[in-house]
Amino acid sequence: MAVPERFEFFVDPGRCIGCEACMQACTECDTHRGQSMIQLDFVDRTGSPQTVPIVCMHCEAPTCAEVCPADAIKRTADGVVQAARKPRCIACNNCVLACPFGVPKMNTGMHLMMKCDMCYDRTSVGLKPMCASVCPSQALAWGTREEMLRLRPNARPVNAFQFGLQTIRTRVNLMVPLDARAEMLDVTSAIHEPTIGRDVMEDVFVEGLPEGMA
């Protein structure tokens, strides 16, 4: 049993309405029942209601597996990066820290890393992943590439990412506007860093910095 090559996962953040149905459906997945592996990120929480569902992108060179000291994270022949093998995982948290997309989750109670495995029990037998089957706006969509290009003429799939000096190619696609020229998406640009330090000081001291702080 393997996920057919022609079926791909398409994530379109522009369609996400933040309903959290995917998170609820994810808890129904039999490979990690009761726990949601999807994280709903706010792009800029103070300025916009826009959310982005984060599922595992299933990299061709999975960083989580590269950093695993226990050889616990494996990628099956169909390109799906599986959750850590229970007998091998030592709960060291390396994968959680290393993943460019912040996907793996550490279940400290079970001493086991758990992550989105594209609902392997479903997709390997021809069903859609749980999240894609419930997403009302199809921000998480499962299907063939031809189908997606036909249904969404104003977007195109991109599966290359830049993370620092690392170029990442993934099995899961992110939909970008058709006229966007970027061939790669910079992962770090989506990381929201709250203002700290001097910026805060400047916010607080609107009148100008106190003496000795300039």
Partner 1 sequence: MIQRDEQLPVGDERGSAPPDGRPLAAQPKWRRDFPIDWPHDEWVSRREFTRFLVLTSGALAVGQLWIAAKSLLGASAPAAPELQVAKVDELPVGRARTFHYPAGSPPRILVRTAAGFVAYDQQCTHLLCPVIPAVEQGRLYCPCHEGWFDLETGRPLAGPPQRPLPKIRLKVVEGRVFATGIEEQAR
CB of 137 to partner 1, least distance (A): 29
Q: Are 61 and 168 in contact (CB under 8 A)?
A: yes
The residue with tokens 């899961």 is 172
Closer of 59 and 139 to partner 1 (Cβ): 59
Residues 6+ apart with CB under 8 A from 78: 2, 3, 4, 5, 124
Nearest to 117 by CA among 70, 84, 68: 84
The single residue among 6, 45, 60, 200 that binds partner 1, judged by CB under 8 A, is 60
- CA pseudo-torsion sign 10, 11, 17, 18: positive
CB of 28 to partner 1, least distance (A): 25
CB of 40 to partner 1, least distance (A): 28
The single residue among 35, 93, 144, 166 that binds partner 1, judged by CB under 8 A, is 166
Going residue by residue from 110 to 149, which x/- string records binding to partner 1, judged by CB under 8 A? ----------------------------------------
CB of 31 to partner 1, least distance (A): 15
Residues 6+ apart with CB under 8 A from 32: 26, 83, 114, 117
Residue 104 near partner 1 by CB under 8 A: no
d(CA 172, CA 8): 6
Going residue by residue from 61 to 100, which x/- string records binding to partner 1, judged by CB under 8 A? xx--xx----x-xxxxxxx--x--x-x-------------
CB of 157 to partner 1, least distance (A): 12
123-152: burial string, b at 16+ Cβ within 10 Å, e else? bbeeebbbbbbbbeebbbbbbeeeebeeeb
Per CB under 8 A, residues contacting partner 1 are 60-62, 65-66, 71, 73-79, 82, 85, 87, 166, 169
